[in-house]
């Protein structure tokens, strides 16, 4: 990770960590970088948080000042920006979003011309420019100043693409959608209505401050209750920029990213559509997923946390399916990034083609109890490498043996250490997580 860009772009509290000056400079550099031998074309999307408009204007100012032409998708999803960038020959795309973070955070995600996350070496050059390590860039003048145009048609083409992927009608299926008061509110219902579902939508009235607040994929309990109340057949929750999807079955049970990987991986394997008979997971995936995969001969890879790393592995090995427990799922035939709405459509395909409920499809996976605690610290590296913390982690790992595991890692997007334990019971998970957290507290590493 760089000084500003983490695993998912440049992210932080708006006008504290990430400022309009930063956004302007990111725009200035990208407009110049991609416009050195031609007039750059760059597309921008944003989510519903209040500061997204502010950053959009700052980016546009920087881009056009460097001579780039800018197309605005307005409020849209991260995967739609990726789709439009790669299918309509933009030099790069920019998504303004802090994904699942609270409304007061925001972020700038840059997507290259192939629809992938921006190369680390280019991010490093942006950081050098922000810090004044690169000389001032030339300003465009006269007719070379860039133009800005409305490009909502690009978002509509993405909606059409999603609809085209469905293999059959959703008629008479009662589907719930939790749009997290975020980007999905512009797209998800339109797709499901067009496919004939009886669509029930919640949390689709964004006001700039309610994105991800007690809703969406990070607060799945809201959708669980909604499923029971409305007696729905299936439901899906997205996050703020809709690159994640968590499902809920007809009984109100959560079907997270691990279960989605199993369900879709097994289905694709049975149909000869899973390259290498392999799914790509991260080190955060549950032990229960791997045990279930072993029983049916479904192979798996493990990467560092972040759909960026999942996709790198998929590309390098020509794999079809990969993702994270959090609901970032990548279907490489259809997309180059996690796409929540696309993921929900693929789950619908399995359910309808197999004529089986989601609960039955997920039944073979026996999930190990897992507890993840986010610990806010002053300095992630110092906390992670503290000798007493390391000793406590090793002690837990020894105690768990082959019947569980502990994983302690730095967040790529927040000043947080994530402590995760899987064990035979919830009580053991809690005991061992707190064993490590208590040491962090005793060492004076925790803030807030």
Is 241 among the annotated ligand-binding positions?
yes
Distance CA 23, CA 63 (A): 10
Distance CA 70, CA 26 (A): 14
Q: Is 99 marked active-site? A: yes
Catalytic pick among 52, 99, 285, 326 = 99
The candidate with the shortest Cα–Cα distance to 357, out of 258, 223, 249, is 249
Put residue 52 in one of left, alpha, beta given phi > 0 → left and psi -120 to 50 → alpha: alpha
Is 239 among the annotated ligand-binding positions?
yes
Output DSSP code: residue 71.
E
Distance CA 426, CA 353 (A): 36
| CA-derived radius of gyration, the chain | 22
Classify burial at 161, counting beta carbons within 10 Å of its beta carbon; exposed 0-12, middle 13-18, buried 19 or more: middle
Put residue 164 in one of left, alpha, beta given phi > 0 → left and psi -120 to 50 → alpha: alpha
Question: Do residues 278 and 313 make contact, with C-beta atoms less than 8 angstroms apart?
Answer: no
Q: Which two tokens stand for residue 433?
A: 């997580």
Question: Do residues 385 and 431 make contact, with C-beta atoms less than 8 angstroms apart?
Answer: no
∠ CA 94-216-256, nearest 5°, is: 100
Distance CA 427, CA 404 (A): 13
Q: Sign of dihedral through CA atoms 87, 88, 89, 92?
A: negative
The candidate with the shortest Cα–Cα distance to 385, out of 412, 417, 431, is 417
Distance CA 255, CA 325 (A): 10
Q: Which two tokens stand for residue 82?
A: 């990726």
Q: Kind and range of the H or E element at 9?
A: strand 9-13
Question: Do residues 336 and 315 make contact, with C-beta atoms less than 8 angstroms apart?
Answer: no
Is 258 among the annotated ligand-binding positions?
no
Count of positions (residues) in the chain: 448
∠ CA 336-56-376, nearest 5°, is: 75
Is 243 among the annotated ligand-binding positions?
yes
- Binding region: 99, 239, 241, 243
Q: Which residues are catalytic?
A: 99
Per the annotation, where are the binding residues for Mg(2+)? 99, 239, 241, 243
């Amino acid at each position: 990770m760089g000084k500003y860009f983490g695993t998912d772009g440049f992210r932080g509290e708006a006008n504290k960590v990430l400022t309009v000056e930063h956004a302007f400079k990111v725009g200035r550099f990208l407009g110049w970088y991609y416009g050195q031998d031609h007039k750059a074309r760059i597309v921008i999307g944003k989510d519903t948080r209040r500061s997204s408009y502010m950053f959009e204007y700052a980016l546009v100012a920087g881009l056009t000042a460097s001579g780039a032409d800018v197309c605005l998708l307005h409020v849209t999803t991260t995967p739609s920006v990726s789709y439009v960038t790669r299918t309509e020959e933009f030099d790069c795309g920019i998504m303004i979003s802090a994904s699942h973070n609270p409304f007061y955070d925001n972020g700038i995600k840059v997507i290259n011309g192939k629809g992938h996350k921006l190369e680390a070496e280019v991010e490093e050059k942006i950081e050098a420019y922000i810090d004044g390590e690169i000389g001032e860039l030339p300003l465009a003048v006269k007719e070379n100043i860039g133009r800005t145009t409305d490009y909502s048609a690009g978002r509509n083409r993405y909606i059409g693409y999603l609809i085209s992927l469905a293999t059959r009608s959703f008629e008479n299926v009662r589907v719930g959608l939790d749009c997290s008061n975020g980007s999905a509110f512009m797209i998800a219902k339109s797709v499901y209505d067009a496919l004939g579902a009886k669509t029930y939508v919640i949390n689709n009235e964004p006001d700039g401050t309610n994105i991800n607040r007690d809703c969406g994929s990070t607060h799945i309990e809201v959708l669980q209750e909604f499923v029971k109340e409305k007696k729905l057949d299936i439901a899906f929750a997205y996050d703020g920029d809709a690159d994640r999807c968590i499902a809920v079955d007809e009984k109100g049970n959560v079907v997270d990213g691990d279960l989605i990987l199993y369900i879709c991986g097994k289905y694709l394997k049975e149909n000869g559509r899973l390259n290498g008979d392999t799914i790509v997971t991260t080190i955060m995936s549950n032990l229960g997923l791997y045990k279930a995969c072993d029983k049916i001969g479904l192979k798996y890879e493990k990467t560092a946390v972040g759909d960026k790393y999942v996709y790198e592995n998929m590309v390098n090995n020509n794999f079809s399916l990969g993702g994270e427990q959090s609901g970032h799922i990548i279907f490489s035939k259809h997309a180059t990034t996690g796409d929540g709405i696309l993921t929900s459509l693929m789950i619908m395909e399995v359910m309808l083609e197999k004529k089986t409920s989601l609960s039955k499809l997920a039944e073979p996976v026996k999930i190990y109890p897992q507890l993840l605690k986010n610990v806010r610290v002053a300095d992630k590296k110092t906390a992670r490498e503290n000798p007493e913390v390391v000793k406590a982690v090793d002690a837990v790992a020894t105690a768990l043996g082959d019947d569980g595991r502990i994983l302690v890692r730095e967040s790529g997007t927040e000043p947080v250490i994530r402590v995760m334990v899987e064990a035979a019971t919830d009580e053991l998970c809690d005991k061992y997580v707190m064993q490590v957290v208590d040491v962090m507290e005793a060492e004076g590493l925790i803030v807030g």
